[in-house]
Amino acid sequence: MKPIYMSPGRKLAYGSLFLALAIVSTGVFKLIPMGNLYFLRFSLTPSIIVFASLFLGPVYGAAVGGLSDLIPAFLVPTGEWNFLITIVYVLFGTLPWCVNALLKKYRFLNSSLSLVIMSLAATLVFYGYAIAEGGLHAFFGEQSDILTPIILVLVALLNVGGSLLAFLKLRKRPMKRALLLDVAAVELLVGSLLKALAFYLYLTLLASSPSPLPFVFILAMLLMGLPLNIALDYFFVNVYVSVASKLGLNHVEDD
């Protein structure tokens, strides 16, 4: 289906709908206790933001992303507002459209090899921290001798095994592969790297009661949840795309 023209009013209506869904998702999942891993958040919000970016363009995607973090921060406060995370979510709404445009322009990037490289990079960074720095021991304490090998194997299976499975399933489906690459790139760059940096800077420099955590620790924990985040985003964005197609809609090419 070819992209359809969408009037500013119609785009605003869809943007408001996506924002409302993202706010509800963020508010609900913020109430789930994560203990010491409070910087981890598994929710439907990223998939809604990614779809808003692809469907409406980077400006609306940025608005949905930023406001979906800002509004729940005051409606459902669970601590101090970290404005750096709001900026991260603005980028979360901007980059999917940009990555999609990049994959269309440079088609050689739309390959399963790109996905394998990203998964290997994430796995190696996590392994480097967990083994060389003894990071899992610092977090799990005495239980680390048992949990560390299990976690390392799970991360390798989910990252590398997941990318190889995707290679087999999507090698003849370039559009699906491009969507998965888009989601994976955004989750790796924004959902892991930039989010870790935002938490580190805030906890170290800006919080009213600084409680600094090592940057590599925060990054490693986010990378540990990366495969699940990618799988959730990819699955639900596909669901949204299917619903939009059945309604006779498609994403817009301009903003």
Q: CA 2 → CA 168, 174, 236, 242, distances in Å?
A: 28, 17, 22, 15
Task: For the chain, state the CA radius of gyration.
Answer: 19
Residue 253 lies in a domain: no
Average pLDDT, the chain: 78
Check residues 88 and 115 and name the one with the higher pLDDT. Answer: 88
Overall pTM surpassing 0.85 (yes/no): no
- What is residue 39's predicted lDDT score, i.e. its pLDDT? 56
* Residue at token pair 């209506």: 13
Question: How many domains are there within the chain?
Answer: 1
| Domain carrying residue 96 | 8-246
**CA nearest 177: which of 245, 113, 223, 229?**
113
Q: Is residue 78 assigned to a domain?
A: yes
Task: Name the CA dihedral angle for 232, 194, 85, 138, rounded to a multiple of 10 degrees.
Answer: 90
In a domain, 251, yes or no: no
Residue 252 lies in a domain: no
List Cα–Cα distances, 102 to 106, 112, 254, in angstroms: 6, 16, 14
Residues 6+ apart with CB under 8 A from 153: none
Work out the average pLDDT over 130-144: 58
Domain assignment present for residue 2? The answer is: no
Predicted confidence (pLDDT) per residue in 52-110, tens digit: 999 999 999 999 999 999 998 888 777 788 899 999 999 999 999 998 888 888 776 66
Between CA 14 and CA 46 the distance in angstroms is 16
| pLDDT tens-digit readout, 32-52 | 655 555 556 678 999 999 999
pLDDT tens string 163-199:
666 666 777 777 887 888 888 889 888 988 899 899 8
* Residue 13 in domain: yes
Q: Would 46 be classed as within a structural domain?
A: yes
Q: Residue 255 falls within a domain, yes or no?
A: no
